[in-house]
Amino acid sequence: MSGIGKGVATASIGRILKSKGFKVTAIKIDPYINVDAGTMNPVEHGEVFVTEDGLECDQDIGNYERFLDEHIYKDNYMTTGRVYLSVIQRERNLEYNGRCVEVVPDIPNEVINTIKKAGNKVKADFVMIEIGGTVGEYQNMLFLEAARMMKLSHPKDVLFVLVSYMPVPAMIGEMKTKPTQYAVRTLNSAGIQPDVILARSVLSLDEPRKRKLSVSCNVHPEDIISAPDVRSIYEVPVNFEKEDLGNRILKKFGMRPRKSDLKEWGKYVDIINNSPKPVSIGIVGKYFESGKFSLVDSYISVLEAVKHACIAIHRKPEITWLSAEDFEGNRMALNKLKEFDGIIVPGGFGNRGIEGKISAIEYCRKNKIPLFGLCLGMQLSCIEFARNVVGIGDATSREFGKKSNNYVIDVMEDQRELIKEKKYGGTMRLGSYDCHLQDGTVSRQAYGSGDITERHRHRYELNNDYRKALEEKGMIMAGINHEKDLVEIIELKNHPFFVATQFHPEFKSRPLKPHPLFLQFVKTAAKSE
Ligand code: GLN
């Protein structure tokens, strides 16, 4: 079932195996038709994560990278659309030698080949594969079929883990195992028997329920692992290891047990749970309302990056979501920003909430509140500065669809062509690009190096025609991509922290390796209270 933590469970098992000295990678399978996650609404689907090689994918890939501390690449992401597209392209290239190409076995075979390719690429000892959705639904059937076929051809190399939800209905107060029993039956009818069950629930599993599940699901009691709700997702590997899950898995593969080294990880979890002094960060965005629910999944990597940085300085992250539209035409509302140690203006698309974000940036600039702009946040920082400091009243971005004589943020020639032809999917500036940092800047000092690479996902850029005017009034072009001659980081002087990046630094932050800019931002924010 989606949303119960399959991604974190997959990433956690991966982390445990890595801590035993193995090379691990992970693959996400999403059953929908979309070829990538780039064109999906973040409120509906959550954040779009970006890999080094420029794939726009599901946020679970972000969890894999954060837990495994490994880069995950394009081949590690499959959707129904991606698999079909590749089979159809191969058929068109005559790669099937004129034979009839069929859904079964050609689609599952394509899935299997992709899995093998992803594993071989990084010479992995273990490839974790997460199949999204719920057992029994039509959409993921072909992926389960691929899984079954893999087990048939490599019986000793494939192991199945079912992540199942055990509800505790409030009216009854008792944990129910029936949905899991049904899930296993359904899985059985697809020809698959789980080897391990991860029992997700608000509580730990007790002995009677373990026995009941064991008998009805045909799984040994010691292979039924409790996965209760925890305060931080980073506790999950530590919790699994309490039940020796890593060695149970090795045993099933006929391998000798190995000690896990989760020392650093465990220490990290202790800091999370024992850092009472907060740093308060406000995030001015718009992708968090869906009906009556507030969804922060759209900014998950930003949230995690803030956490990593706070934990590194033994502080508790206290994050408040601020809706940009609340600041529009409401100067009084902006005073609220004073309550925070620092403000982040994250990425975004389209023009809803834009003026609110610009007002928030202006307020932080004038009131010396630490401000960190990410992608759209950088573009809006330039627009705000152009309007209010340089005096270009109609400064805007071409993205917002308003007539203006001053597109301070604009499209490059190649992007103009793509937009004209409505080629939106996978065509932004995506993935890793070089950036050279200017000496004497906050960024240069934070990174401790002059040349870095960071991940991008945007169509618009700072228009070089305005660079000089902005610089003359004090904006510092702190990071430049020389190859394309594009500004990647801007900073302001005479401000405790005003840094904004055209790239998305949040994608490269890891729990034990916080991102240098997030760290510098949080350090400054922590001091400014
Ligand atoms: N909408 C802006 C662009 O396309 C910014 C994108 C973002 O914040 N990721 O350039």
Length of the chain, in residues: 529
Model confidence pLDDT, tens digit, residues 359-409: 999 999 999 999 999 999 999 999 999 999 999 999 999 999 999 999 999
Q: Which of 304, 284, 308, 248 is nearest to 61 (CA)?
A: 304
Interatomic CA distance for residues 396 and 405, integer angstroms: 9
Q: Is 459 in the pocket of ligand 1 (CB under 6 A)?
A: yes
Q: Which atom of ligand 1 is nearest to the CA of 346?
A: 8
Q: Where on the phi/psi map is residue 405: left (φ > 0), alpha (ψ -120 to 50), or beta?
A: alpha
Three-state SS string over 357-368 comes to HHHHHHHHHHCC
Of 459, 458, 463, 462, which Cα lies nearest the Cα of 418? 459
The C-alpha atoms of residue 165 and residue 374 are separated, in whole angstroms, by 36
Give the pLDDT band of residue 43 (cuts 50, 70, 90): confident
Query: Looking at this protein, which amino acid is placed at residue 234?
Result: Y
57 included as an active-site residue: no
Taking a C-beta distance cutoff of 8 angstroms, is the pair 500, 522 a contact?
no
Q: Under a CB-based contact definition with an 8 Å cutoff, are residues 20 and 259 in contact?
A: yes
First to last CA, the chain: 42
Residue 272 CB less than 6 A away from ligand 1: no
Tell me which of 345, 349, 398, 503 to substitute to probe ligand 1's pocket, judged by most ligand atoms within 8 Å of the beta carbon.
349
pLDDT of 220 > 70? The answer is yes
CA of 176 to the centre of ligand 1 (A): 45
Per-residue confidence (pLDDT) for residue 42, from 0 to 100: 77
CA atoms 496, 501, 504, 507: torsion sign: negative
- Active site (annotated) includes residue 154: no
The answer to whether the beta carbons of residues 346 and 322 sit under 8 Å apart is no
Does 48 contact ligand 1 (Cβ within 6 A)?
Answer: no
Whole-number Å distance, alpha carbon 499 to ligand 1 midpoint, is 17
In the sheet with 24-30, reading across from the earlier edge strand, the strands are 77-79, 24-30, 126-131
Ligand 1 and 457: CB distance under 6 A: yes
Q: Render pLDDT for 107-147 as a digit per residue (tens, 0 to 9).
A: 999 999 999 999 999 999 999 999 998 888 999 999 999 99
Q: What pLDDT is recorded for position 424?
A: 85
